[in-house]
Amino acid sequence: MALVPEVVSKLVAAGHRLQIEPGAGLRAGFGDDAYAAAGAEVRRPDGADVIVVIDLGEDLDVPGSAVLGLLRPFDDPGRMRKLAPSGVTAWAFEAVPRTSRAQMVDALSSQATAAGYQAVLEGAAACGKFLPMLTTAAGTIKPASVLVLGAGVAGLQAIATARRLGAVVSAFDVRAAAAEQVESLGARFVSLDLEAQDAADSGGYAREVAVDEQQRVIDGLVPAVTASDVVVCTAAIPGRPAPRLIERATVEAMRPGSVVVDVAATTGGNCEATEPGKVVTVGGTTVIGVTDLMSRVAGDASRMYSRNVASFLALISGEGAAFEPDTDDDIVVTATICRSGAVVHPRLQEQ
Ligand code: NAD
């Protein structure tokens, strides 16, 4: 849910008028009564200065002057080109700069945090093992081993969650800077001694590595993958298909009962056996191609998203709660995808 009641009441107190679609928050744990008590009008929106969404879905008929959400501009630029002629201003969280000042607006990070956490729970639930070591009257159980591929925001949260649950955790990333962060969370960094081990671009993101180098990464990871009870895949390159890190043959070589949770399933998956939106079994291994992780932890994912939304709205709020969408604030300018009937984001104009 894009706005939770607690944040609605703050926006109302700041002078904004809010309309919430009936039943919209129910499955995330927020009923219409709570929105009404927070000061929102619970009704079908009849036009607004800003429509706040999680995802626009297939419906590009925006009943307002501007829309803010996770609009997938770089994964699906065609939709933004279809949206632009309506004249709506579109701000996408995916285009928010990754700067310190923009952290409060960084919905990619808040939702990746939720995804990384939930991915470990999905893996733990499916692997048939305790994650911690247990010493009981019925004997001692060894801790489970968890491997996390990709140590960005989702991966680091997955490492932290698996460690809290008592698993023995290792992780791999192509960015050299990730090693220290992995180790600071008490996990072992899988070092492959490859040129690709420092495939960071100037913005701190990973860049795609050459095909032969990628194959060496795939081959180099085989021992770590086959030794793990749960593998959580989070490797991604912004605006590109997910890098392939695990081949089907490697999944077949995993111990029966192992699990691969592919957080990258929405962009094709890090694992060759992944089927987005499905759970498949390869040999004795369960491959979870999960695409709705945030919805599985919807209450807190919504609370975090909501704060990102409110922080963005604060950037475009002028005197007396009036919106000033034409602000020259660099975060707002960078996040603008469509404006005045055209696609204006430089990355989409290049394509
Ligand atoms: P992301 O979702 O784009 O990618 C996830 C991870 O996959 C990244 O760590 C990336 O290096 C890794 N990856 C890509 N290709 C790989 C491959 N072939 N093998 C293994 N791993 C691979 O990344 P993200 O979580 O959005 O974060 C990217 C960077 O931005 C990180 O350094 C993060 O700490 C940083 N960041 C900074 C801020 C800020 O300063 N405000 C906020 C969020 C993230």
Q: What is the pLDDT of residues 136-148, one digit of tens each?
A: 999 999 999 999 9
Ligand 1 contact, 162 CB (< 6 A) = no
Ligand 1 contact, 234 CB (< 6 A) = yes
Report the residue among 173, 232, 246 best suited for mutation to probe ligand 1: largest number of ligand atoms under 8 A from its CB: 173
* Distance from Cα 330 to the centre of ligand 1, integer Å: 22
Residue whose Cα lies nearest atom 11 of ligand 1: it is 206
Look at the block and give the residue holding tokens 């960078």.
334
* Distance from Cα 240 to the centre of ligand 1, integer Å: 13
Residues of the chain under the 70 pLDDT cut: 195-204, 350-351
Ligand 1 contact, 88 CB (< 6 A) = no
Ligand 1 atom with the smallest distance to the CA of 181 is: 34
How far apart CA 76 and CA 291 sit, in angstroms, is 16
Q: What pLDDT, on the 0 to 100 scale, is given for residue 210? A: 77
Active-site amino acid positions: 98, 103, 106, 109, 205
Ligand 1 atom with the smallest distance to the CA of 237 is: 3
Residue whose Cα lies nearest atom 13 of ligand 1: it is 235
Please count the other Cβ atoms lying within 10 Å of the Cβ belonging to residue 236.
23
Q: What pLDDT, on the 0 to 100 scale, is given for residue 200? A: 65
Ligand 1 contact, 293 CB (< 6 A) = no
Q: What pLDDT, on the 0 to 100 scale, is given for residue 202? A: 60
How far apart CA 108 and CA 98 sit, in angstroms, is 10
Quick one: which of 208, 283, 215 has its CA closest to 249? Answer: 283
Q: Which residues of 176-203 are buried (b: 16+ CB within 10 A; e: fewer)?
A: eebbebbeebebbbbebeeebbebbeee
Ligand 1 contact, 196 CB (< 6 A) = no
Residue whose Cα lies nearest atom 31 of ligand 1: it is 152
Ligand 1 contact, 245 CB (< 6 A) = yes
Q: What pLDDT, on the 0 to 100 scale, is given for residue 93? A: 97
Ligand 1 contact, 94 CB (< 6 A) = no
| Beta strands in the chain, from DSSP E residues, in sequence order | 19-20, 41-42, 48-52, 64-69, 89-92, 134-136, 139-141, 145-149, 168-172, 188-189, 230-233, 259-262, 279-282, 285-288, 336-339, 342-343
**3-state secondary structure (DSSP) of residue 48:** strand
How far apart CA 62 and CA 49 sit, in angstroms, is 11
Q: What pLDDT, on the 0 to 100 scale, is given for residue 203? A: 64
| Strand-pair partners of 91 | 68, 336
Residue whose Cα lies nearest atom 18 of ligand 1: it is 243
Q: What pLDDT, on the 0 to 100 scale, is given for residue 204? A: 66
Ligand 1 contact, 204 CB (< 6 A) = yes
**3-state secondary structure (DSSP) of residue 151:** coil
Ligand 1 atom with the smallest distance to the CA of 100 is: 41
Query: In sequence order, what are the residues at sequence separation of 6 or more whose Cβ sits closer than 8 angstroms to the Cβ of residue 212?
Result: none
pLDDT digits (tens, 9 = 90+) for 65-120: 999 999 999 988 999 999 999 999 999 999 999 999 999 999 999 999 999 999 99
Ligand 1 contact, 150 CB (< 6 A) = yes
Q: What pLDDT, on the 0 to 100 scale, is given for residue 350? A: 65
* Distance from Cα 339 to the centre of ligand 1, integer Å: 29
Query: In sequence order, what are the residues at sequence separation of 6 or more whose Cβ sits closer than 8 angstroms to the Cβ of residue 180?
Result: none
Quick one: which of 296, 248, 291, 250 has its CA closest to 273? Answer: 248
Residues 292/263, Cβ–Cβ less than 8 Å = no
Q: What pLDDT, on the 0 to 100 scale, is given for residue 199? A: 64
How far apart CA 104 and CA 161 sit, in angstroms, is 22
The whole-model pTM stands at 0.94
Residue whose Cα lies nearest atom 10 of ligand 1: it is 206
